[in-house]
Amino acid sequence: MIRVKIRLGLVVAFGLSAAQGPAQDLSKLPYVPTPQVVVDQMLKLANVTANDFVVDLGSGDGRMIISAAKTFKASGLGVDIDPKLVELSNKEAKAQGVEQRVKFIEQDMFKADLSKATVVTLYVLPDFMEKLRPKLIAELRPGARIVAHDYYMTEWHPDRHIELTVPEKKAANGTDKAYLYLWVVPSRIGGDWCMNFAFGAGKPQWIVLSFNQQYQMVAAAAETVIGPLPIESPAIKGDEIDFFLTHGAAKFRFSGKVYGDKLEGAAVSASSPKPVPWRAHKVPADRKCVLR
């Protein structure tokens, strides 16, 4: 209900009748600025630092990227289809002394280069969010953060969301609420991985780990030569992986990182609190992990 209200509020703010609904010509979206207090919270939610390269898709007057540079010392790129807003943003970047680290270009957001982005910021209508989803998941590197104002992606659930009360939104949006959504781009771990590991004082054995992934949601199974092993709570956050394997009476927690087609980390259990290194390699789709 709240979401419907906001959607209508923003649609009204964008100068459309509610009856038109949010179905839009996806080449253009009206300019409605994000209030500065919301900009600051979005950059905080994405944990922006001087190491980040922030891309604002549909950058308006440039406030998101200029704030990222001024307040958090980040670098960035703003992409907007309106040449006047691009010109205004580049002028403002100069006036604020951040023109060495930020740039604004006239471009369709669907064609923007995201290869350098570690953070993407968005204030776009739901149709744009949905249409951007495949581009974001395909082009952003694992660990990159996406933060959006008021709108979310339906299939890709946010990792976090927060609600703010922002009185200055009331006039333009018909609501004083701002909803912020954060996604962390996960590494792709779907498929089989072959791991050799010695549980406690036992001999090393081969284990096939099978992950079924949809965005950051993961289901897992583990199999040894003598049968399945219980695997619980598989999780992927950026390039960090975590799961529990139970062997006999002992439950081991495996934590590690994804390095392309390798997983590496350390495992601990109540009886073996000293971290034991573990590694796994991705099994190509046309091969099998040979259990022995």
Ligand X SMILES: C[S@@+](CC[C@H](N)C(=O)[O-])C[C@H]1O[C@@H](n2cnc3c(N)ncnc32)[C@H](O)[C@@H]1O
Q: Which residues bind ligand X (CB under 6 A)?
A: 27-29, 31-34, 56, 58-60, 63-64, 79-82, 85, 108-109, 123
Q: How far is the CB of 254 from ligand X (least distance, A)?
A: 40
Distance separating alpha carbons of residues 254 and 210, to the nearest angstrom: 14
Q: How far is the CB of 170 from ligand X (least distance, A)?
A: 17
Q: Which is nearer to ligand X, 109 or 140 (CB)?
A: 109
Q: Which is nearer to ligand X, 127 or 223 (CB)?
A: 127
Q: How far is the CB of 59 from ligand X (least distance, A)?
A: 5
Q: Which is nearer to ligand X, 82 or 99 (CB)?
A: 82
Closest-by-Cβ residue to ligand X is: 58
The DSSP code sequence of the chain is: -HHHHHHHHHHHHTT--GGG-S---TT-----PPPHHHHHHHHHHTT--TT-EEEEES-TTSHHHHHHHHHH--EEEEEES-HHHHHHHHHHHHHTT-TTTEEEEE--GGG---TT-SEEEE---HHHHHHHHHHHHHHSPTT-EEEEES---SSS--SEEEEEE-TTHHHHHS-SEEEEEEEEPPPP--EEEEEEE--TTSPPEEEEEEEEEETTEEEEEEEETTEEE-EEEEEEETTEEEEEEEETTEEEEEEEEEETTEEEEEEEESS--S-EEEEEEEPPTT--PPP-
Q: How far is the CB of 65 from ligand X (least distance, A)?
A: 9
Q: Which is nearer to ligand X, 20 or 196 (CB)?
A: 20
Q: Which is nearer to ligand X, 85 or 182 (CB)?
A: 85
63 contacts 95 by C-beta, under 8 angstroms: no
* Nearest of 38, 40, 87, 37 to residue 60 by alpha carbon: 87
Q: Which is nearer to ligand X, 31 or 244 (CB)?
A: 31
Q: How far is the CB of 112 from ligand X (least distance, A)?
A: 8
Q: How far is the CB of 179 from ligand X (least distance, A)?
A: 14
Q: Which is nearer to ligand X, 22 or 33 (CB)?
A: 33
Q: How far is the CB of 263 from ligand X (least distance, A)?
A: 37
